[in-house]
Amino acid sequence: MFLALLTGVAMSTQAGVNTKLSTYVGNVPAAFISFATGTIALFVCVLLSGASVSDLVKAKNAPLISWIGGVLGVFFVLVMISAVPRIGVALSFSLAIGGQMLAALVIDHFGLFGVTERSVSWPRMVGALMIMVGVVVIRRF
């Protein structure tokens, strides 16, 4: 759970540094640089993990839906680079987290993409509603 929390810190930091980079090179080039450096870092992780680079070839057997993760990442980075200077990091991420929570509840409830089904319960819906209230509070103040 700590690493999941730390991921949130990393995402907010990433949005800030990508936005800073975009002031020098523009939004799309900044996103490209972000993904290029990320690709290099991931390649090093593959090598350090002991996985064979040939294991990457096995991805050709994955269902088509499995391939959109990178595209969704590009969408996220480009939107954040555009949103942060206009509405700030806190509101950008509170909106993103609200959207994540709504999508996560649907994905869990229906077991989409092969995840374990976890029914939407009243407490989970109240938690999602509290996040949405937080978005409103951050927007107003």
Per-domain boundaries in the chain: 12-86, 88-141
pLDDT bin (cut points 50, 70, 90) of residue 54 is confident
Give yes or no for residue 107 having a pLDDT over 90. yes
The reported pTM is 0.85
- C-alpha span between 4 and 71 (Å, rounded): 22
φ, ψ dihedrals at 52, nearest 5°: -80, 140
